[in-house]
Amino acid sequence: MTTVDRPASPTPIGASAMPPRRGLLVWCLASLCVLAVWLLFYGLVLSSLQESRAQTVSYSQLREQLALQTAPLGGSLKPGQPVALLSAPALGLNDLVVSEGTASADLFSGPGHRRDTVLPGQTGVSVIYGRARFFGGPFGQISSAKVGDKIVATTGQGVFDFSIISVRRPGDPLPAALAGGASRLTLVTADGGVAPAGPVFVDAALLGEAQPSPGLSIRVPPQAERAMQGDPSSLQALALYLPLLGIALVVVLWMWFGWGKWQAWIVGISLGLALMWLVSGPIFALLPNLL
């Protein structure tokens, strides 16, 4: 009996396997798109939750120190240490904790005190930086401040009332030099949101008697702690995390082609979210600190 070979059935249109090289390219492009969407979501949503939690922890710490009269008064302070509370209802500030340091990562947890200036209420000029958009955008409304608006700062030396005397941008006249024994508070943020035109400065004069300062943390701030600067030191963390993302992509691709699609999805989503969270901080630390 003669056996007749059946002709192979035609392959359905669209059912052919994707060449490995093309599959790798598609996965790489898809990963970049996912990373871009994630960073946008992180910056606009998750960073605000991160800042809110940090503020809650810092507020409890500073309130206890104020009650025990152990709050810092100046001198050698560590970045991230809570130093003051700010309130200004007209500017959307309500018991906002100010921490030491103004590098980009320092401002993840809220406003930061510039380390080469005195604390609020002390003789001299105190400068505080705050973000306008990301990580809760605590200073997002200060560009709309008006002369005469009030700001209240609380430190280990007491409660200090300030009155706004000017809102200025680069090129505008500077405030008059301080008289002996006077105190001024300057709030700084980005002017214009995500695509800022530059910094905006809100100057406020102390209403009352200034207190002495025990000294400054530093005399000259590093470049990363100045207005509209990123922190290049975060590149070290990126140099570690980005290769991990690449390794994770290769592992997921291997699982996709060699194990199963649904298994690759389960492992890939969990691993990807964890690594993208690690990458997000260093990436945002590279951006200007007032955004």
- Kindly report the three-state secondary structure assignment for every residue of 167-227: EECCCCCCCCCCCCCCEEEEEEEEECCCCCCEEEEEEEEECCCCECCCCCCCCCCCHHHCC
DSSP state of 44: I
Tokens 């592992």 -> residue? 251
Residue ranges per structural domain of the chain: 23-291
Cβ-based neighbours of 172, under 8 Å, separated by 6 or more? 166
* Surface-to-core class of residue 251, CB atoms within 10 Å of its CB (0-12 exposed, 13-18 middle, 19+ buried): middle
Other CB atoms within a 10 A radius of the CB of residue 210 amount to 20
User: What whole-number distance in Å separates Cα of residue 56 and Cα of residue 97?
Assistant: 9
Residue 9 is predicted with a pLDDT of 47
**Could you tell me if 227 and 187 are in contact, meaning their C-beta atoms sit under 8 angstroms apart?**
no
Going from the C-alpha of 256 to that of each of 27, 249, 277, the distances in angstroms are: 11, 10, 23
Would you tell me the crossing angle of helices 20-41 and 235-258 to the nearest 10 degrees? 130
**Could you tell me if 286 and 234 are in contact, meaning their C-beta atoms sit under 8 angstroms apart?**
yes
**Quick one: tokens of 12?**
């359905």
Tens of pLDDT along the chain (291 residues) come to: 455 555 544 544 444 455 666 766 776 777 678 778 888 999 999 999 999 999 999 999 999 999 999 999 998 899 999 999 999 999 999 999 999 999 999 999 999 999 999 999 999 999 999 999 999 999 999 999 999 999 999 999 999 999 999 999 999 999 999 988 999 999 999 997 556 778 999 999 999 999 999 999 898 999 999 999 999 998 888 887 777 777 777 777 676 666 667 666 666 677 777 777 888 899 999 999 999
Residue 32 is predicted with a pLDDT of 76
Looking at domain 23-291, which of 2.40.260.10, 2.60.120.330, 3.50.90.10, 2.60.40.10 is its CATH number?
A: 2.40.260.10
Q: How far is CA 273 from the centre of its chain?
A: 19
Residue 247 is predicted with a pLDDT of 74
**Quick one: tokens of 270?**
């969990």
User: What whole-number distance in Å separates Cα of residue 193 and Cα of residue 173?
Assistant: 23
Look up the pTM and report it.
0.83
